Amino acid sequence: MQPLNRRTALMLGGAGAIATVTGVAGLLWGPGSGFQSFRGQKLSEPEALRSADGRLQVKLSAAMGQVLIAGRDATALSYNGTLPGPTLFLRPGDQLNVTLENRLMDPTNLHVHGLHVSPQGNSDNVLVSVEPGTSFDYEYFLPADHPPGVYWYHPHHHGRVADQLFGGLYGAIIIQDPQSVPVTRERVLVISDISLTAGGSIAAVAATEKMMGREGALVLVNGQLKPALAARPAERERWRIVNAAHRN
């Protein structure tokens, strides 16, 4: 095994410079609040859950709690305690079963963004409301000719989408190619933004931001700030990029 050539290490930037923000909640986590030391850490990827024999059964537990963001313990929303939630790897023709457990204080639900599946019943039905303390069993049937590609999941409960999405509830869905592209490795990169108070909780949102669209002070890749990744010369990578930085 050759050693990694550090000069080929790539720095992954966010969607631009991270602004220092003086928000409604006072001091926010930003470049000046002790974050420098957490930049450039080795890229981590969300847990991978893969279908087998045409089926994937997962449990997603939505909760407010301690979660690692930008290398520090923060208090935010997450699926299964990580930000982003696990990546679901599927193939065309698969059956996906998701038990969504709601451990939040508010109703929620689940939307599988972009998947070509039924919008009714216990499939991708955004009218489903999963009340706090209850769970719901979703069932999705992917057609045999489902387009391969990058999709994602997040809550779609009317009136609560922005708060729950911005708070940390999202994850990637990859529909794999029947004939895959030859690469050295694939990576899943989920880009998102979030604003946290100095104490590490989700910052309050001003009414204007709610109307005009909010933009987080921290731009994250897989929950990290400018993570570093390295590749050897002549290696070929395929990056699966989800933009979960909704402006809503």
Q: How far is the CB of 17 from Cu ion (least distance, A)?
A: 27
Q: How far is the CB of 113 from Cu ion (least distance, A)?
A: 3
Cβ proximity to Cu ion, 113 vs 238, nearer residue: 113
Q: How far is the CB of 223 from Cu ion (least distance, A)?
A: 19
Q: How far is the CB of 109 from Cu ion (least distance, A)?
A: 12
Which residue of this chain has its Cβ atom nearest to Cu ion in the complex? 113
Angstrom distance (rounded) from CA 194 to CA 61 = 20
Is residue 209 helix, strand or coil? helix
CB 216 within 8 A of CB 194: yes
Angstrom distance (rounded) from CA 242 to CA 152 = 7
β-strand partners of 27: 22
DSSP class of residue 203?
P
Cβ proximity to Cu ion, 59 vs 113, nearer residue: 113
Which residue ranges make up the site for Cu ion (CB under 5 A)? 113
Checking DSSP bridges between strand 228-229 and strand 10-11, what pairing results, if any? antiparallel
Cβ proximity to Cu ion, 89 vs 152, nearer residue: 152
Burial of 196 by CB count in 10 Å (0-12 exposed, 13-18 middle, 19+ buried)? buried
Q: Is the dihedral of CA 43, 219, 50, 66 positive or negative?
A: positive
Cβ proximity to Cu ion, 113 vs 116, nearer residue: 113
Instruction: Write out the two tokens for 189.
Output: 């990169």
Q: How far is the CB of 210 from Cu ion (least distance, A)?
A: 18
Instruction: Write out the two tokens for 226.
Output: 């400018």
DSSP class of residue 3?
P
Residue 241 CA from chain centroid, whole number: 10
Q: How far is the CB of 232 from Cu ion (least distance, A)?
A: 36
Angstrom distance (rounded) from CA 146 to CA 176 = 10
Cβ proximity to Cu ion, 94 vs 124, nearer residue: 124
Q: How far is the CB of 154 from Cu ion (least distance, A)?
A: 6
Cβ proximity to Cu ion, 46 vs 227, nearer residue: 46
Cβ proximity to Cu ion, 72 vs 113, nearer residue: 113
